Amino acid sequence: MRAGEPDASRAAAERWTHPHGSAAGNARSFARAPDSFGGAVWSYKAQKTILAPPLTWDGAAFVLDGRSLAALDVENGRVLARTIVNTDRPGRIAVHDRDFFCLEGSRLVQYRLRGRKLTRGWSFEVGSDASAPAIVSGEIYLTTKGGLLRLRAGARKPAWKTTGDYLGDPAAYGDHVYALMRADGRLELALHARTDGHVVKSVYLGDAPAARGGRVAVSESILGAQLPGSPGSWAIVSCKRAENGPPDLTFNRNETLGCQPSAGRTAFLSLARKPLTWCYVTAAKNTKRRLTPVVNAKRNPKLARTGVPPISLNWPTICFGTWAGNIHSMRILWRLDEHPEIKALRNGVRFHAVPARHELLLLVAKDGQSLHAIGPEEIG
C-alpha cells in the first residue's frame, strides 16, 4: 500500500494475494507491466493440472497443481517446497506473509512456507458453506450462512462475528468490509466496520435470490456485486467517499458482463456481450455513458476474444491475458499471437495474468499443464 491509499485498494507489485488481486477483489495492482515481450524467463511443467491463478508474496508464487501445492521462486521457477492439500474449492484461496490459506472440507487451513518446507499450521472450523477468505493486515474475513467472521491465524475464536444470512465472497477496502446478505426477502450489500463488524451502511440491490454464491469488488467510487446464482449479472453501485465516516452507497443498476471486471478509480473494465466489446463500466446516471466501448470484436476479434478477465497493472495499463496495452493512449504493448515461440501459449491462457513483481507476469497455459513467467525484451 502507498501513502494515502486505503488498505487493499491495490495489490502490491510482489503480492497478488487473492485470485482477484487484493482483498478488495478489484484486480488492481501497483505492478508495472512488461512494456515489450521478451519471451519466457522460465517455465514450470505441472504434475497434474493447475487449478487456479497463482498467488504471490515477496518472491514466492503459490500454485495449486492438482492436489499438490507448489511454492516457486518467481525469479527462476525453482520449486521451493511442495505439499499435498485437500481442497476441492481451488478458487477459495489466499496468501498472507508467505502463508497459504484454503478450505479443506469445513475448515479453513493455513500452510506455512518457511525455508524449503510447506507445513500445515492453524486451522479453524468455518462450516461447509464458507466463502473465500479476504485477508488484509493479517485479518481474515469470510462469510457463512450464519454470519460474517473476522479471524486471525492462530486464534481459537473469531475477533468478532456478525449474525445474518450472508452470501458469497466479501471484500475489504480501507476501514470497511463489504458483504452480501439476505434479509426479509431483500438482497443487500452491507458495509461493516473492520474494528467490530458493526453494520454502518447498507444498500438494497433487489429481491433476494434462492441461490448462494456471488462476490464483491470495490474501488474508490464504484462497487460491483456479482449476483448469487447469476455469474454474468452484476449490481453496479456508486460510492461517494467521505473524509470521516463511511461512504455513501447508491444502487445504480444491474449490468450483464461477459467476465469478471478489473477496476480503475472510477470505473470497471469488462466485456459487454452484445456486441462483444471491452468497455468501461461506470455508475453514471447518463445512460449513454454507462458502457463506453474500448475494443470492438468486429474490428479486433483476437483482442476481444481472449476468454479471460483483464487485470489493471498500474492503471491505465491493462493485461487482457494474451495481450497488454495502455487503455488511455490505446497503444498495444505486446500480443502473444505475434510471438508464437512459447508453444504452450499458442492456444491462449487458462486464467488472467498474475504479476509476480514489476515487469514480470505469470501466465498459465490454456490446458493448465504449464506456467510461464514472461518479461520485457532485453536490449543491448
Q: What percent of the chain has pLDDT over 70?
A: 98
Bond prior to 261 in cis (omega within 30° of 0): no
Residue 244: predicted pLDDT: 84
User: Which residues have CB under 8 Å from 346's CB, separation 6+?
Assistant: 336, 340
Residue 2: predicted pLDDT: 58
Residue 379: predicted pLDDT: 76
CATH of domain 28-374: 2.130.10.10
Compute the distance between CA of residue 282 and CA of residue 263 in angstroms, rounded to an integer: 10
- The pLDDT tens digits of the residues spanning 155-195 come to 999 999 999 999 999 999 999 999 999 999 999 999 999 99
- The pLDDT tens digits of the residues spanning 194-235 come to 999 999 999 999 999 999 999 999 999 999 999 999 989 999
- 380 pLDDT band, cuts 50/70/90, is low
- The pLDDT tens digits of the residues spanning 229-274 come to 998 999 999 999 988 889 999 999 999 999 999 999 999 999 988 7
Alpha helices, DSSP H, located in the chain: 301-304
Compute the distance between CA of residue 242 and CA of residue 263 in angstroms, rounded to an integer: 20
Select from 271, 323, 260, 319 the least CA-distant residue to 91.
260
Q: Is the pLDDT of residue 137 over 90?
A: yes
Compute the distance between CA of residue 268 and CA of residue 379 in angstroms, rounded to an integer: 35
Query: pLDDT averaged over the chain?
Result: 94
Residue 1: predicted pLDDT: 53
Residue 245: predicted pLDDT: 84
